[in-house]
Amino acid sequence: MHRRRRTALLLSAALIAAGPLLTACGNDAHPGAAAVVGDQRITVSQLQGRVDEVREAQRAAVRDDAQYAQAVAQTGTLARDTLHGMVLDRVLERAARDAGVTVSRGEVQTMRSDLEKQAGGAKALETAWLQQYGVPPQRLDDNLRLQLQAQKLAQKLGTDTSRPEFWGALAKASKDLGVDLNPRYGSWDVQKVSRVDADTPWVREVTTAGQKQSA
């Protein structure tokens, strides 16, 4: 379970965090896009939708406003972390495809059934995945598919998901795809296969000014 938990955390489609309402960056080379991965756009509205899914699931999982506020307070930067997950998902899919790795729906359902037995039922599994990894119920199958992709890719490479060989394959896929982030969300480090914050004080200043005006 340790390796599975680590993989789920790294490859979650929507990591737990918190953030302001999203807006497109005015000088973006790809208007309306939070990121461009290869020939695929991740739009700001798609990113906002993922953020909303996590928040709605968190709200439904608690009994009162105080618990919901605590859940939000315990998280960090939802928009940026969620975008990181969405980009990483596409990079993993490219690496798996390059290696000839496929995952069937039956494999996903088998994995889910096994996890439900361990967790004590479907609802218990959904709650655990939301609390531990920030994955809302409607994204659970997608997340399990990505985990299986990662595990099978590692096996194909003769390694595991914590080893440099695995992350090297992701770095190659990341480079081949080309990842262009909206500066609002930082930049993409190909070698680390990770989003990094950009040193752009003007973004913070504009965001803060906008929040003050809307207050």
Express each pLDDT in 63-101 by its tens digit: 888 888 877 776 667 888 899 999 999 999 999 999 999
Phi, psi of 158 (to 5 degrees): 70, 35
Question: How far is C-alpha 156 from the geometric centre of its chain's CA atoms?
Answer: 24
Classify strands 187-189 and 194-196 as parallel, antiparallel or unpaired. antiparallel
pLDDT at 179 over 60: yes
Span 22-37, mean pLDDT? 66
Set out the domains of the chain in order of their start, with CATH numbers: 2-214 (1.10.4030)
What is the number of residues in the chain? 215
In this predicted model, which residue has the larger pLDDT, 202 or 199? 199
> What tokens were used for 97?
């495809």
Report the alpha-carbon distance of residue 179 to residue 96 in Å, rounded: 17
pLDDT at 65: 87
Asked whether residue 212 carries a pLDDT value surpassing 70, the answer given is no
pTM: 0.76
In the chain the first and final C-alpha atoms are separated, in Å, by 46
pLDDT in tens, 35-69: 999 999 999 999 999 999 998 998 898 888 888 88
